[in-house]
Amino acid sequence: MERRWVGPHGYEIVPATRDGRQVLRVRRHGHPVADCRSVEEVARYVDLADLCEVIPLPSRDEDRRAVLP
């Protein structure tokens, strides 16, 4: 799963590539808003202090497989 950060009001930040360069894509309610080249640009759209990284957790089946020999 790709890394992503979510914020209030439906904002989501995901890493992306545009014209061969890495950008931070700002989406709101799933719709693209901007491709930012820096964190400072992202801050124009959402307060960075409000962002939370989404960390995927393993499913229960994956947990059981990891414990069993």
Tens-level pLDDT at each residue, the chain (69 residues): 578 999 999 999 999 999 999 999 999 999 999 999 999 999 999 999 999 999 988 777 655 555 555
Res 2: pLDDT: 79
CB of 26 closer than 8 Å to CB of 42: yes
CA nearest neighbour of 49 among 7, 21, 18? 7
Q: For the whole model, what pTM was predicted?
A: 0.77
